[in-house]
C-alpha cells in the first residue's frame, strides 16, 4: 500500500477541483476494454474520464484523497471510497453545488462511522502435510480440516447453516488470518495481501529451485503433465513428460527456527509498525520468494539481486551507478563475512553477478548457469539471516544506523 499522505484542506480542495475539471458526461454507453476511459453511471448522471492521460490523472488524485486519511486507507477499500466519492462528485456537477471541503469531510466521517469488525479469513492451502489439528506460524493458523471440523462449527455455529464453503473445499488444509476492517471488501484485500506474503516467505524458507516443493494458496504448483504433438507433412509425433511435486511437512521445526530468524519472519508479515530495516527485510524476503517460485532461471537471478538492492541501497531515489554497485558490494561483504579475504570474494562476486543481472535486464541475455543462480540465492538468504540474527545488525532500526556501523568497520 502507498504511504499515507498528509494533506491540508487547501490541497484537498485543489485536488477535488482538478478532478472536477477533467471529468465529462457520456450520455451514451461506452464499452471500453482498453482502459482509455473510466465511466460511472448512465445517461445524464454519468461521470466519465476520457483518455489515457486523463484516466491516469484521475486515478492518481483519487489515490491521494484516499491516502489522506490513515483510518480510511487502513479499513476501507479504495473501491468503496471511489464509489462514495463519485456520488459526491455527481452532486457537485449535476446539482451545481460548489465543491466544499466540508462535503468531503462528511464523506470521510460517514465511512468512519462504519463499525470495525474482526474477521478470520480462510484460504485453501496446498502442498503440505500436517498431523496436528492446527499449527501456528506467527499470526497465521493452519487447519487440518478433517481434525478440526467439529471445533470450527462450534466456534462459528452459523457455519452449520451455510456449509457450502467447507463442503466444496479443494484441499483438506486451510490457512487463516484474522484481520480488522470496516467492510468485507477491505478485509479480503488485507487478507489476500497477507497470504501472498506468506507464500513468498514460505518459498524463501523452502528455497527449492527445482520447483518440486512449494506451499501456497494463490500460487501453488501441483502434479501435472506436459504434452506436445509434432506434425509434419508425412507423420505425427508425440512428446510428453510429467512434473512431480512433493508435500512439505509444515510442522518441521525449521520453519520456526529462532537460530535462523524464521520464527520472527511470520510475525513480521503482519506487524503494523515496522521500522525501516524491517520493511526492507520483508521486501527482500519477498523478492527471494518470487525468485524461487519463478521457472525462468534468468528471472530468478535478477530477483535475487533485486533482494540485495532492496535491502542495501541507501539512496532509493538515485539510479544504479558504478559507485552504488560498489556500495552494495561492500555492505554485503561486511554484513555476511568477517574474514578480510572472504569479504573481498563476496564483493567481487556481487559485482560480477550484478553485471549478469544488468545483461539480462538490459541486453536480453537469458542463458544463466544454475550455479550462479544457486549462489545468488544462497548469498541473498545469508544477507537476510545476518540482519535478522547476527549482532549488532539485528538491533538496527534504520539505514542510518547500519551505514554508520559499516563505515566504522571499514576504517578499523
pLDDT tens, residue by residue, 364-384? 667 788 999 999 999 999 999
- Give the domain extent around 139: 115-265
127 in the same domain as 103: no
pLDDT exceeds 90 at position 273? yes
Predicted confidence (pLDDT) per residue in 76-119, tens digit: 999 999 999 999 998 888 777 778 899 999 999 999 999 999 99
- Please check whether residue 1 lies inside any domain of the structure: no
> What's the confidence (pLDDT) of residue 244?
73
CB 357 within 8 A of CB 363: no
Phi-psi group of 65: left, alpha or beta (phi > 0 → left; psi -120 to 50 → alpha; rest → beta): alpha
CB 216 within 8 A of CB 140: no
392 in the same domain as 322: yes
pLDDT exceeds 50 at position 28? yes
261 in the same domain as 153: yes
Residues 219-232 have a mean pLDDT of 78
- Please check whether residue 242 lies inside any domain of the structure: yes
Number of DSSP helices (H) and strands (E) in the chain, helices first: 15, 10
Strands 248-249 and 128-129, sheet pairing: parallel
> What's the confidence (pLDDT) of residue 35?
65
pLDDT exceeds 60 at position 385? yes
pLDDT exceeds 50 at position 296? yes
Report the DSSP beta bridge partners of residue 47.
40
384 in the same domain as 279: yes
- Please check whether residue 2 lies inside any domain of the structure: no
126 in the same domain as 27: no
H-run or E-run covering 177: strand 173-181
Closest CA to 351 of 301, 293, 305: 305
Q: How confident is the model at residue 316 (pLDDT cuts 50, 70, 90)?
A: low
Kindly state the cell numbers that stand for 92.
Answer: 457537485
Q: Interior CA angle at 343 toward 297 and 283, to 5°?
A: 45
365 in the same domain as 294: yes
27 in the same domain as 153: no
291 in the same domain as 178: no
- Please check whether residue 191 lies inside any domain of the structure: yes
The torsion angles phi and psi of 324, rounded to 5 degrees, stand at -70, -40
Kindly state the cell numbers that stand for 27.
Answer: 450520455
> What's the confidence (pLDDT) of residue 319?
56
Phi-psi group of 211: left, alpha or beta (phi > 0 → left; psi -120 to 50 → alpha; rest → beta): left
91 in the same domain as 52: yes
Please tell me which residue, 304 or 228, carries the higher pLDDT value.
304
pLDDT exceeds 50 at position 232? yes
240 in the same domain as 144: yes
How far apart (Å, rounded) are the C-alpha atoms in residues 99 and 65? 14
- Please check whether residue 55 lies inside any domain of the structure: yes
- Please check whether residue 4 lies inside any domain of the structure: no
| Number of domains within the chain | 3
Predicted confidence (pLDDT) per residue in 319-333, tens digit: 566 788 889 999 999
DSSP 328-375: HHHHHHHHH--SHHHHHHHHHHHHHHHHHHHHHHHH------HHHHHH
H-run or E-run covering 379: helix 370-389
- Please check whether residue 280 lies inside any domain of the structure: yes
Query: Last residue of some domain: 202, 235, 265?
Result: 265
Query: Last residue of some domain: 78, 112, 146?
Result: 112
CA distances from residue 149 to 50, 173, 243, 359 in whole angstroms, order as listed: 52, 11, 33, 53
129 in the same domain as 241: yes
The DSSP symbol for 393 reads G
H-run or E-run covering 142: strand 140-144
CA distances from residue 244 to 25, 170, 220, 224, 266 in whole angstroms, order as listed: 55, 19, 13, 7, 28
- Please check whether residue 377 lies inside any domain of the structure: yes
How far apart (Å, rounded) are the C-alpha atoms in residues 82 and 47? 12
> What's the confidence (pLDDT) of residue 30?
59
Q: How confident is the model at residue 162 (pLDDT cuts 50, 70, 90)?
A: low
pLDDT exceeds 50 at position 1? no
What's the full length of the chain, in residues? 412
124 in the same domain as 159: yes
H-run or E-run covering 326: helix 322-336
Query: Last residue of some domain: 247, 265, 283?
Result: 265
Query: How deeply is 377 buried, as exposed, middle or buried, from its count of CB atoms within 10 A (0-12, 13-18, 19+)?
Result: buried
Task: Give the dihedral of Cα atoms 186, 267, 117, 74; nearest 10 deg.
Answer: -40
Considering the entire predicted model, what is its pTM? Answer: 0.89
Amino acid at each position: 500500500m502507498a504511504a499515507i499522505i498528509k494533506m491540508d484542506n487547501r490541497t484537498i480542495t485543489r485536488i477535488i477541483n482538478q478532478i472536477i475539471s477533467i471529468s465529462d458526461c457520456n450520455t451514451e454507453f461506452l464499452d471500453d476494454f482498453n482502459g482509455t476511459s473510466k465511466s460511472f453511471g448512465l445517461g445524464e448522471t454519468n461521470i466519465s474520464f476520457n483518455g489515457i492521460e486523463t484516466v491516469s490523472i484521475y486515478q492518481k488524485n483519487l489515490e491521494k484523497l484516499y491516502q489522506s486519511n490513515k483510518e480510511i486507507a487502513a479499513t476501507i477499500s479504495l473501491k468503496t471510497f471511489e464509489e462514495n466519492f463519485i456520488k459526491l462528485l455527481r452532486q457537485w456537477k449535476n446539482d451545481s453545488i460548489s465543491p466544499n471541503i466540508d462535503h468531503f469531510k462528511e464523506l470521510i466521517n460517514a465511512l468512519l462511522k462504519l463499525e470495525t469488525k474482526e474477521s478470520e479469513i480462510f484460504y485453501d492451502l496446498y502442498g503440505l502435510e500436517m498431523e496436528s489439528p492446527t499449527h501456528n506460524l506467527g499470526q497465521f493458523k493452519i487447519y487440518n480440516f478433517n481434525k478440526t471440523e467439529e471445533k470450527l462449527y462450534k466456534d462459528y455455529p452459523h457455519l452449520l447453516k451455510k456449509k457450502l464453503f467447507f463442503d466444496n473445499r479443494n484441499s483438506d488444509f486451510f490457512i487463516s488470518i484474522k484481520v480488522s476492517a470496516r467492510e468485507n471488501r477491505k478485509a479480503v484485500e488485507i487478507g489476500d495481501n497477507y497470504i501472498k506474503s506468506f507464500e513468498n516467505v514460505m518459498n524463501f524458507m523452502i528455497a527449492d529451485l527445482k520447483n518440486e516443493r512449494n506451499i501456497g494458496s494463490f500460487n501453488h504448483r501441483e502434479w501435472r503433465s506436459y504434452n506436445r504433438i509434432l506434425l509434419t507433412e508425412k507423420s505425427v509425433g508425440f512428446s510428453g513428460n510429467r512434473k512431480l511435486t512433493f508435500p512439505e511437512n509444515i510442522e518441521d521445526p525449521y520453519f520456526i527456527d529462532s537460530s535462523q530468524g524464521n520464527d520472527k519472519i511470520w510475525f513480521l508479515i503482519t506487524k503494523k509498525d515496522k521500522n525501516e530495516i524491517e520493511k526492507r527485510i520483508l521486501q527482500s524476503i519477498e523478492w527471494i520468494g518470487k525468485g524461487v517460485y519463478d521457472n525462468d532461471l534468468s528471472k530468478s537471478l535478477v530477483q535475487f539481486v533485486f533482494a540485495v538492492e532492496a535491502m542495501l541501497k541507501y539512496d532509493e531515489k538515485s539510479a544504479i551507478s558504478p559507485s552504488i554497485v560498489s556500495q552494495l558490494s561492500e555492505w554485503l561483504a561486511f554484513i555476511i563475512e568477517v574474514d578480510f579475504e572472504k569479504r573481498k570474494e563476496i564483493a567481487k562476486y556481487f559485482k560480477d553477478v550484478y553485471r549478469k543481472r544488468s545483461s539480462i535486464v538490459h541486453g536480453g541475455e537469458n542463458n544463466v548457469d544454475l550455479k550462479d543462480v544457486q549462489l545468488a540465492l544462497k548469498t541473498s538468504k545469508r544477507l537476510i539471516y545476518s540482519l535478522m540474527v547476527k549482532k549488532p545488525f539485528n538491533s538496527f532500526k534504520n539505514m542510518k544506523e547500519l551505514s554508520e556501523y559499516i563505515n566504522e568497520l571499514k576504517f578499523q
